[in-house]
Structures are given as structure tokens and as C-alpha cells.
């Protein structure tokens, strides 16, 4: 049968420990019967396989073994066979990866949900690594170059592979003041530090508008004028300028 959805069609494709008996195998999909039905001619099919035959025969269900036309009202769910099949012993679907689990078919799905030997894809985008479940956690949290880590300066979440470049250019990276005042200033605050508070910034005298060409360090600015104000010299000097 071509192009069938394996998830919704056919029987159980499990690794049975003992060879499947004929009576447990669907003649259509050749797998262990899933939701088996029994026909009036005494044959068994998976429910989904029967539905597929009906669909392909314009609504008519024909037995695949003897071609008899089947009456839907005379078909019943074979619960007894279903119970036997669900109790058959199977290996884990990932036994080729090393899993040694075996158990009844009915609990296989529970096991698969947590099987350490299942191959899973790392979910850190765009990582394409596939690993056994038991190794995935360590990969995703400690080894994957696409895992998210925090920038030590701005605390933003960034990809590990971009951490170095980000931190070198981070707005919050502390840099030595470009005026060499000895302070460490965040990159984004450097320009306001220079204009507003750096002790080494040289600014024009506040009396520039009346002609003073003096330029002094920001820090010394206040004390310079305080001391000048108090001196007689200051008054005389100002009068020379005006």
C-alpha cells in the first residue's frame, strides 16, 4: 500500500520477543493487529486497515484473504485477541541504541516516553545535534554552543557562541575613562561622564562670555572660582577684562 500515514494506519510495528503468530498478524499491513475486528468469514484485520480497504473500494469492504464482500453489521471488535496482543512481550524500540528494556506491548509507550536511549534533537535553535536522551541534558545545558547564557555585564540572555563578541561590545562593559581620570565607566555612560562629571575634563571658564580664555579642569573649576572670588585680585582682574 502506498503513501500511508504510519502514525494512524496499520498495526503495531514493535520488536516482539517471540515471533508473531499468524493469528496475531494483520494480513493487510503484516504487523500485529491494532484494534482488531473479526469478519463474518472468520478473518481478522486492524480497524484502520479495514477502513482503508473500504475507502479504496468506494465504500465496499472486501476480505483481503478470500475476497468475500463483508457486511459492516456482521463485523465486531475482537477484544479477546486485542488483550492477548497487548500482553505480548516486546523489546524497546531503541534496543539498537543499547536499551535493554523489555515488557508488555501495552506499557511500551510509557517506557518510550522516558527511554534514555531515544535519540532526540537538541532544541536550542539552530542546533541540529541529535543525541540519546541521557546525554541530551548535559549537551543542552553545558556543551551546546547555541545554549543561552547571561552576559556578565548587562545580564541579557545571549547565545554562548556570541558571548565573547557581545561582551567585548556590551554597552555595560566597564571601560577606563578615556580622559584617564582613573574611574571605570560603563561604555554607554562614557560620553555623559566626560561632559558632566569627569574630573579630567577641561572646560572653558564660566566667564568666557566676558572674555576669559582660561580653560580649567572640571574638578578644579568650583574651587578655583571660590578662591578667586575671595581675593581682591579677582575684582581688579575682572575690571581689566570688561
Segment contacting Zn ion by CB under 5 A, of 13-21, 74-82, 110-118, 220-228:
110-118
Lay out the site mask for Zn ion across 120-159 (x = CB under 5 A, - = otherwise): --x-x--x-x--------------x------x-xx-----
Q: Which is nearer to Zn ion, 191 or 231 (CB)?
A: 191
161 forms part of the interface with Zn ion (CB under 5 A): no
Lay out the site mask for Zn ion across 26-45 (x = CB under 5 A, - = otherwise): x-xx-----------x-x--
Rounded to the nearest whole angstrom, what is the least distance from the CB of residue 154 to Zn ion in the complex? Answer: 3
Which of 14, 20, 37, 99 touches Zn ion (CB under 5 A)?
A: 99
Q: Are 186 and 155 in contact (CB under 8 A)?
A: no
What DSSP character marks residue 23? G
Q: Which is nearer to Zn ion, 96 or 235 (CB)?
A: 96
Q: Which is nearer to Zn ion, 195 or 231 (CB)?
A: 195
What is the distance between the alpha carbons of residues 162 and 141, in angstroms, rounded to a whole number?
A: 16
Which of 32, 37, 46, 88 touches Zn ion (CB under 5 A)?
A: 46
Q: Are 40 and 70 in contact (CB under 8 A)?
A: yes
Among 49, 9, 26, 34, residue whose Cα is nearest residue 106: 34
101 forms part of the interface with Zn ion (CB under 5 A): yes
102 forms part of the interface with Zn ion (CB under 5 A): no
| Residue 185, SS3 per DSSP | strand
Q: Are 45 and 27 in contact (CB under 8 A)?
A: yes
Which of 115, 131, 136, 218 touches Zn ion (CB under 5 A)?
A: 115
Which of 47, 136, 181, 221 touches Zn ion (CB under 5 A)?
A: 181
The residues that bridge with 176 in the sheet, in sequence order, are 184
Q: How many residues in the chain? A: 242
Rounded to the nearest whole angstrom, what is the least distance from the CB of residue 8 to Zn ion in the complex? Answer: 12
Tell me the CB-side half-sphere exposure of residue 117, using CA atoms within 13 A.
12
Q: Are 158 and 151 in contact (CB under 8 A)?
A: yes
Q: Are 144 and 135 in contact (CB under 8 A)?
A: no
236 Cβ contact partners less than 8 Å away, ≥ 6 residues apart: none
* Angle at 192 (CA atoms; ends 191, 195), nearest 5 degrees: 90
Rounded to the nearest whole angstrom, what is the least distance from the CB of residue 58 to Zn ion in the complex? Answer: 19
Chain residues in the site for Zn ion (CB under 5 A) = 10-11, 26, 28-29, 41, 43, 46, 49, 63, 65-66, 92, 94, 99, 101, 115, 117, 122, 124, 127, 129, 144, 151, 153-154, 170, 177, 179, 181, 198
Amino acid at each position: 500500500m502506498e503513501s500511508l500515514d504510519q502514525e494512524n494506519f496499520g498495526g503495531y510495528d514493535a520488536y516482539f520477543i517471540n515471533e508473531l503468530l499468524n493469528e496475531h498478524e494483520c494480513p493487510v499491513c503484516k504487523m500485529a493487529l491494532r484494534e482488531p475486528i473479526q469478519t463474518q468469514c472468520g478473518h481478522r484485520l486492524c480497524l484502520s486497515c479495514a477502513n482503508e480497504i473500504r475507502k479504496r473500494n468506494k465504500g465496499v469492504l472486501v476480505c483481503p484473504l478470500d475476497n468475500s464482500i463483508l457486511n459492516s453489521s456482521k463485523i465486531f471488535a475482537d477484544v479477546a485477541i486485542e488483550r492477548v496482543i497487548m500482553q505480548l512481550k516486546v523489546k524497546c524500540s531503541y534496543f539498537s541504541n543499547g536499551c535493554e528494556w523489555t515488557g508488555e506491548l501495552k506499557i511500551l509507550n510509557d517506557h518510550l516516553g522516558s527511554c534514555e536511549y531515544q535519540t532526540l534533537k537538541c532544541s536550542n535553535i539552530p542546533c541540529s545535534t541529535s543525541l540519546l536522551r541521557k546525554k541530551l541534558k548535559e549537551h543542552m545545558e553545558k556543551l551546546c554552543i547555541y545554549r543561552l547564557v547571561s552576559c556578565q555585564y548587562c545580564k541579557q540572555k545571549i547565545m554562548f557562541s556570541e558571548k565573547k563578541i557581545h561582551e567585548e561590545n556590551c554597552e555595560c562593559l566597564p571601560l577606563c575613562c578615556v580622559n584617564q581620570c582613573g574611574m571605570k565607566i560603563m561604555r554607554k555612560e562614557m560620553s555623559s561622564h566626560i561632559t558632566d562629571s569627569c574630573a579630567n575634563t577641561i572646560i572653558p571658564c564660566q566667564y568666557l562670555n566676558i572674555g576669559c580664555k582660561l580653560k580649567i579642569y572640571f574638578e578644579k573649576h568650583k574651587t578655583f572660582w571660590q578662591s578667586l572670588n575671595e581675593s581682591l585680585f579677582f575684582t581688579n582682574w575682572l575690571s581689566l577684562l570688561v
